[in-house]
Structure 1
Amino acid sequence: MNVPRGSSARPENPAPGRWPSDFSAAQAVAASADYSDLCCADGALWWLTFRPEQGDSVLQRWQDGVTRTVTPQGHSVRSRVYEYGGGSFCVLPGEFEPDCLLVFVNEADQQLYLQCPEGQRLEPLTQHPECRYGGLCADLARRRVLAVEEAHLPGRVEHRLVAIGLDGSRQLLASGADFYHSPQVSDCGTQLAWIEWDRPDLSWTRTRLMLATLAADGSVAQVQSQAGADEALQQPRFDASGQLCCLSDRSGYWVPWLFADDGPRKLPAIAADHAPAPWQQGSNTWLPLTDGWMALSWSEAGYGHLALRHSVSAEERRLAHAYSRFRHLCSDGKALYCIGASPSCTAAILRIELATGELTRLLGEDTTLGVADLSRPERLLYLSAGGESAHGFFYPPRNHAQKLGQPPPLLIFTHGGPTSACYPVLDNRIQFWTQRGFAVADLNYRGSTGYGRPYRQRLQGNWGVTDVEDVLAAVDYLSQQGRVNPAQVFIRGSSAGGYTTLCSLVAGAGRFRAAASLYGVSDPLQLRAVTHKFEADYIDWLIGDPDTQPERYVERSPLAQAERIRTPVIFFQGLRDAVVLPSQTEQMVAALDDNGVPVHCVTFADERHGFRQAAHLAQVLEEELAFCQAWL
């Protein structure tokens, strides 16, 4: 790696970007524990905790004020259906004794295991090494588990809905569609709903809501579609009266609809997205309650809100005002539980009394950074190409021991997906940079979720163009506002964000001092050839048909356009990555090196797509910072 000379600042008066800080990479990573799959069952609250130090996910239970880990040592609960998983466990009450039973997906072999958390019982429920399981749902009336089954067969991958009995018996419920998502059983046990779709559609472009009758033996009968012609549906739920509800974007936003016998009817809700794109199983951003009430979370201008709303009167009660993102809602009838996050808290498990709105934090802590050190997100709204608006969040440098006497360097964050989003909540990676004098712009470029269907669809055919326009426009906007130093702009991104980062280096030659790509896409045509089934048509949707529009794949391939990149780049790659294969990074590194561009590559032998081990996450932050500081 070649490092420019004369770039170090005087220790007694460090320039922005070189501020010393006690907030280390290890501390930033240690504070990144997360929770998911919250549910109420058997008189307790259950959830998964991701532990970065161990690199695993364990099931925990909260009951009578006590939190207990129930996953046996040596196991990790995580599904890899569609590679992104979700819905990795469910709880069934005990039949003849007070002990409940758990069914979970073991990360190592992707099989279902039956566990009695109060005893020593732990046994495999499935033994199909060619299959993975996810999206688990308890069928309480029949004491069995419904699941999405992903079968890796010679030359193909098949998906179906299955029921697995507690004796290991298997019953096929639905097959023939390319994808299945979110099975749900009515409380009475007579109805089954799910989401399905076929290629080339995607889970956020067009799906079908299916409703079926369950016979006494558990088989499926009278299957009918409840979907319209051009809508994406997600998170089907049965309300207290047994009527089917679901989020649909037919009105332009994901909002709840009631699918009654006389036709679908939109339920009262703010005209805003009530869910992100359904990459994973098990999402729960809204919930029908009793007496006509619903618990709803939604996003406005990127900020999350939570409320109770009546499905007839539209009466609203806002909740948890200090929080700006809400996930995995569930209820025990007395309280609403959710995973919340705020600008000062990465993730917390919240309990909210339905009658009074009183909030109690069960788990999760505010940042250890003081008020003078915490950089809070500011809404970023600016004009991009064609006069269209683009969104994001701006984080100014903050360090109580330093004064900002000049415009700071800017680091652009480009999120993955790309049909995803960033949120105005505590991200310790961002604080790691702002502590050292960098300003950070976390962008929700056009094509991100949370701003309605038309905004989400803006990347169709335009990946590598629209997102890049928004990156360059953000740099111009912040420079013109005097918020950043236009001569010290850096950019980084992971996965699809790595692709946007590399494409920005091609289009914005000379505008960036250095860049970082974490398991990023460098050749979309290669990705298209080897990617997994869930994303097999995604590249065509994002760029176009390579048979009829081959020129797009040349124009928008950072690898093919490598000679136009003169910016130093550091790469990070997991060698077990099945989404963006290591060969993509290897070829990009070689191409830049051949062109004399300063380049460095860090690989991790046991990481997949998205790093999980704390030591590796800390190493990434430290090496990325050192690389960027070398080019200040």
Structure 2
Amino acid sequence: MQTLAYGSWPSPIDAALAAAHDGQPEFVGFVGDEAWWTEPRPAEGGRRTLVRRRVGGREESVLPAPWNVRSRVIEYGGRPWAGTVVDGEPLVVFVNFADQRLYRHEPDGEPRPLTPVSSVGGGLRWAEPQLRLDRGEVWCVLEEFTGEGPSDLRRVLVAVPLDGSAAENRDAVRELIDERQRFVTAPRISPDGLRAAWLAWDHPRMPWDGTELIVADVTEDGTLRGPHTVAGGPDESIAQADWAPDGSLLYASDRGGWWNLYRDGTPVCPREEEFGGPLWKLGQRWFAPLDSGLIAVVHGRGASALGVLDPETGEVVDAAGPWTEFAATLAVHGERVVAVGASPRSAQEVVELDTRTGRARVIGAEHDDAVDPAYYPEPQIRTFTGPAGRDIHAHIYPPHNPGCVSLGDELPPYVVWAHGGPTSRVPLVLDLEIAYFTSRGIGVAEVNYGGSTGYGREYRNRLREQWGVVDVEDCAAVAQALAHEGTADPDRLAIRGGSAGGWTAAASLASTDVYACGTIIYPVLDLTGWGVGVTHDFESQYLESLVGPLAEVPGRYAERSPAEHADRVTVPFLLLQGLDDVICPPAQCVRFLERMAGRGVPHAYITFEGEGHGFRRAETMIRVLESELSLYAQVFGLHPRGIPVLELST
């Protein structure tokens, strides 16, 4: 046991190790009896591959580099693949990231394109493919750019021929509906094949504000006739819909204040828990009906468990196992359920639940301790009191290293992590990026500030017209509470965040004196320059609810923007930006830095070619972590070992 100052503890968790374990399995499904899913490859340019688990248990990557199974629909993407078995062989279609074309996987050859390329704007993009073998088609969502601007586009439900006849012919893609709604999800077909159900919404609402559940008849010629709204509206968010085997319509609605399950309009398990979540990617699934009539569910309050719901009794039986958090992806086959679970001691794994026996086991992406788990952080679930007595939910990760203790009465430095979204939350799972800091003697506080999901609509609505206020106040309240109780050094507090969390970090530096420095990652910095015509269409009117209607409160947009108040930023900061980011464009960072010029505030600005919104390449993530640690070392007087020195300019 060594007695060393915080921040200088030797750790086996270096930046390369953390980067190698970034990302998680996603979009699980069945192809016949086999479980398939997508999986990240940080060391291969950040691509995502398609993985199959053969019946014998062997995992294999279906597609070699450079194939990248990822859709860009609404920029955050959606389910990029679908598959079944035909004549004993897998029939799989997928979206390739580079050209966004839909391809048919050929087991013994190169994938064959099913859709054409367009040179207009962002081209043609596809998501949520569903195989309709009875018609020889793939039904999916099409996002089609009609001009060069980020909002010059349309979205419709379409049918793509499986025979490849649309590969060079846009006219061969059959449109199933008109474009009456701005956003749509792929249709779910009833068991008898006679009805289709999908979700739709329009600007300025986001899907967690209000969506409509639409049902239409499926005609003999494969068109959708008589679409009509059966649930939802401007103030009711329906996160997912699907058909039960008996033909009843299931959906997750927050009409009662929580995303609960309904069957043909009747609640089946009313609880103050979430059985749904924010639809950031098309095709996310929080429930899946089983042939038996039971329903596999991901549910919880502030965390999510995998369970099986009996809609007749409302009883939920959760899967036993070490997993404390499950992602919004589910697939069922017979009596089997496949999901993605994790815990504070294990990263995301593909988990299979046998609903007959109740036995759950890992079947893919199995967690493997890359280092002694004694170095993993030991989190605490905390609820703090914020302004006006409101609750603030957070995960606290104290410094932890089995071989080190601190010097005397020294208090540790802490970094407050503000999550992105902002309509989202941070799960309590093993994250080696957090361990990278805690194992060196730097604490981390992840804050699920007001506006976060997982705690009901009332908690989520705290951020309405209060972005840049409530999130900033809640993060500061947690930091100050840790300092006040003697957990953290009040003079060595930092804040960091990416995307919307980057906004919160920058706004915190510009409007509070709580932090000694900050790390700002692909952020929003200027509200007046982030919206229609600048950012992507999906979030182009998000500020209408987060800040207020621009036409009514234009002054508020300038008042809250860090770029407008660069003179108030007086502490060192690190700014990190992907040059291919179309959601938070680099121009915002450039304008912010221009207004910081000549003010003598130490800072560094690092950009990354080939990176967009969310860093995916191993070499990028390594530099990000090492630069961030170097910033804290310089500001807090720490002495980490073997870390390149970040050059700060003024």
Superposition TM-score tier, normalisation by shorter sequence: over 0.9
Shift in Å, 1:522: 1.0
CA deviation vs aligned residue, 1:429-474 (integer Å, no higher than 9, x gap): 1111101111110010000111111111111100000001101110
Tell me, in whole angstroms, the C-alpha distance in 2 between the residues paired with 1:90 and 1:515: 42
1:542 and 2:546 aligned: yes
Shift in Å, 1:33: 4.2
Residue pairs, 1:10-409, within 5 angstroms: 14-54=4-44, 55-64=46-55, 65-94=57-86, 97-117=87-107, 119-120=108-109, 122-129=111-118, 130-154=123-147, 156-167=152-163, 168=166, 169-174=172-177, 175-229=179-233, 230-259=235-264, 264-300=265-301, 302-327=302-327, 328-363=329-364, 364-404=366-406, 405=408, 406-409=410-413
CA deviation vs aligned residue, 1:6-31 (integer Å, no higher than 9, x gap): xxxxxx85311222212100001112
* Farther off after superposition, 120-129 or 52-61: 120-129
Q: Secondary structure at the match of 1:596?
A: coil
Shift in Å, 1:339: 0.6
Aligned identity (percent) is: 33
What TM-score comes out, normalization by structure 1 length? 0.94
The one-letter code sitting in structure 2 at the alignment partner of 1:226 is: V
The one-letter code sitting in structure 2 at the alignment partner of 1:162 is: V
Q: Secondary structure at the match of 1:93?
A: strand
* Farther off after superposition, 511-520 or 441-450: 511-520
Q: Secondary structure at the match of 1:226?
A: strand
Q: Secondary structure at the match of 1:425?
A: coil
**Contact map agreement 1:32 1:346 (CA 8 A) in 2:** no
Tell me, in whole angstroms, the C-alpha distance in 2 between the residues paired with 1:108 and 1:219: 31
Tell me, in whole angstroms, the C-alpha distance in 2 between the residues paired with 1:82 and 1:202: 12
Q: Secondary structure at the match of 1:205?
A: coil
Task: Name 1:3's counterpart in structure 2.
Answer: none
Cα 1:452–1:131 change in 2 (3 A) is: same
Shift in Å, 1:72: 4.2
Tell me, in whole angstroms, the C-alpha distance in 1 between the residues paired with 2:186 and 2:449: 28
Q: Which runs of 5+ in 2 are unaligned?
A: 167-171, 637-650
Among residues 574, 583, 589, which one is paired with 1:579 in the alignment? 583
Task: Name 1:455's counterpart in structure 2.
Answer: 459
CA deviation vs aligned residue, 1:314-362 (integer Å, no higher than 9, x gap): 2332213421211211121132111111111121011121111112211
Tell me, in whole angstroms, the C-alpha distance in 1 between the residues paired with 2:575 and 2:630: 13
Q: Which runs of 5+ in 1 are unaligned?
A: 1-11
Shift in Å, 1:372: 3.1
Q: Secondary structure at the match of 2:74?
A: helix
Tell me, in whole angstroms, the C-alpha distance in 2 between the residues paired with 1:22 and 1:326: 28
Q: Secondary structure at the match of 2:326?
A: strand
Runs of 4+ in 1 over 6 A off after TM superposition: none
Tell me, in whole angstroms, the C-alpha distance in 2 between the residues paired with 1:298 and 1:411: 30
**Contact map agreement 1:141 1:189 (CA 8 A) in 2:** no
Tell me, in whole angstroms, the C-alpha distance in 1 between the residues paired with 2:131 and 2:354: 26
CA deviation vs aligned residue, 1:463-490 (integer Å, no higher than 9, x gap): 0000011011101211122111111101
Q: Secondary structure at the match of 2:405?
A: coil
Task: Name 2:530's counterpart in structure 1.
Answer: 527
Task: Name 1:9's counterpart in structure 2.
Answer: none
Shift in Å, 1:554: 1.8
Tell me, in whole angstroms, the C-alpha distance in 1 between the residues paired with 2:596 and 2:274: 41
Residue pairs, 1:611-626, within 5 angstroms: 611-626=615-630
Q: Secondary structure at the match of 2:564?
A: coil
Residue pairs, 1:444-483, within 5 angstroms: 444-483=448-487
Q: Secondary structure at the match of 1:227?
A: strand
Tell me, in whole angstroms, the C-alpha distance in 1 between the residues paired with 2:387 and 2:132: 51
What TM-score comes out, normalization by structure 2 length? 0.92
Tell me, in whole angstroms, the C-alpha distance in 2 between the residues paired with 1:271 and 1:287: 20
Matched positions, count: 612
Task: Name 2:644's counterpart in structure 1.
Answer: none
The one-letter code sitting in structure 2 at the alignment partner of 1:514 is: C
**Contact map agreement 1:589 1:599 (CA 8 A) in 2:** no
Tell me, in whole angstroms, the C-alpha distance in 2 between the residues paired with 1:140 and 1:473: 56
Tell me, in whole angstroms, the C-alpha distance in 2 between the residues paired with 1:592 and 1:578: 23
**Contact map agreement 1:518 1:573 (CA 8 A) in 2:** yes
